[in-house]
Structure 1
Amino acid sequence: MNQYVIRPVRGDEWKKVKELRIAALNDPAAPVAFLETVEEAEGRSDEFWQGRAEGGSHGRAARQFVAEGPGGEWVGSVTVLVEESGTTDIFDRVIEQDQGHLVGVFVRPDQRGTGLTERLFEAALEWVWSLEAPALERARLFVHEDNARAAGFYRRFGFEATGNVVPVPTDPSAQEREYVLQRLAVV
């Protein structure tokens, strides 16, 4: 497992960002894991993917982490969006406090259960907790009500359900449930 490096994407790696996202959207769990379809992703321009890679590579607004194998292959990813108080989130709800929002969690099926997801989350949260001015005191994510496998992982990692639910934008009869991890106080 140590042969994999967890690191932020680089701005020029847009082709790999696109390939991994399309692989994620082709996964059988994609309908309950992502708010985007493979058709939507495949229809996006190269400029879109270039902007996504660039935006996830530096700065405070977002950071995408990948698990890279010894041959350069990408086997997993997680992205953190920084949500600022007073703005609206992806569900058009007003953000009440500055926080990190983990999205786009994916590990290729042959690497699941190997510890890579934990390592991706550790890197993402280390970055979230390192931010200053203002510091972020919590990280959150949303999980589809039918994605029990993901919800179980998030709970084992320390995330707790808040009771807040939002309708899935593509299927208002389904719900996304919010999970939160509070920053531990430093003593």
Structure 2
Amino acid sequence: MSTYEIRRFRADEWEKFREIRLEALKDTPIGFGEWYEDALEKSDEVWQERTRRSAEAPDSALFAAFLNGKPVGTAGAFPRAESLNREMVIYGVYVSPEHRGPRLGVASLLFDAVIKWAREVGGADVVTLSVHERNDRAHAFYRRYGFVDTGETMPYNLDETASLIWMRYHG
């Protein structure tokens, strides 16, 4: 069985961050609120800054699952600005196709780490996420992990005919 290392990206790992982000955008275009083509055109400096923020921000974090030094999954958390309570939102959830499924448990390992960070470091009382209404695979995983639909939706920023469904963690 493979051993995955779950940790935050380091600032100097911007090329690895770019690689997994581009893979995610290509694999699941509806999952991330950014088009692959737009991300592909970003300069090295933009990727370096995004990775630095992901690695060093005190109020948000992006974790990755690494296998032999290569990122094979991501999940992060940031504070929800309009929340009346201490709410952290999980974002950037992705696992490479060959590392998906309950047998390997990569998504669960990422969620374990990011939810622990959100509560212990981020001070979250509430952990939420949003999922595209047509991303059935992700929606099913979130439910299995312990998230429930809140009834709240919002328009998807890249296609306003589609919605994002908000879910709350009950674990």
Fold match, TM over 0.5?
A: yes
Cα offset for 1:58?
A: 2.5
SS in 2 for 1:56: helix
Q: Name whichever structure is richer in helix by fraction.
A: 2
Cα offset for 1:60?
A: 2.2
CA contact (8 A) 2:9 2:62 kept: yes
- Pairs within 5 Å for 1:63-78: 63-70=61-68, 72-78=69-75
**What's the counterpart of residue 7 of structure 1?**
7
**Where in structure 2 are there 5+ consecutive unaligned residues?**
none
Q: Distance in 1 between matches of 2:113 and 2:2?
A: 14
SS in 2 for 1:61: coil
Cα offset for 1:97?
A: 2.5
Q: Deviation digits for residues 121-149 of structure 1, max 9, x if unmatched?
A: 000011011026xx210111101111111
Cα offset for 1:2?
A: 4.9
Does residue 145 of the first structure (1) align with residue 143 of the second (2)? Answer: no
Q: Deviation digits for residues 37-95 of structure 1, max 9, x if unmatched?
A: 1111111121211111111112322111111112x111111121123xxx3xxxxxx33
**What's the counterpart of residue 173 of structure 1?**
161
Alignment match of 2:91 (pick from 89, 93, 103): 103
CA contact (8 A) 2:29 2:36 kept: no
**What's the counterpart of residue 82 of structure 1?**
79
Does residue 19 of the first structure (1) align with residue 19 of the second (2)? Answer: yes
**What's the counterpart of residue 42 of structure 1?**
40
Does residue 126 of the first structure (1) align with residue 123 of the second (2)? Answer: no
Q: Deviation digits for residues 148-179 of structure 1, max 9, x if unmatched?
A: 11111101111111000001112111110000
Cα offset for 1:96?
A: 2.7
RMSD (Å) for aligned C-alpha atoms: 1.5
Give the residue type in structure 2 aligned to 1:79. Answer: G
Percent identity between matched residues is 35
CA contact (8 A) 1:34 1:104 kept: yes
Runs of 4+ in 1 over 3 A off after TM superposition: none
CA contact (8 A) 1:102 1:140 kept: yes
CA contact (8 A) 1:141 1:180 kept: yes
Moved more, 55-64 or 119-128: 55-64
* TM-score normalised by length of structure 1: 0.85
Structure whose alpha-carbon radius of gyration is higher: 1
Q: Distance in 1 between matches of 2:7 and 2:58?
A: 16
* TM-score normalised by length of structure 2: 0.92
What is the number of equivalent residue pairs in this alignment? 169
**Where in structure 1 are there 5+ consecutive unaligned residues?**
88-93
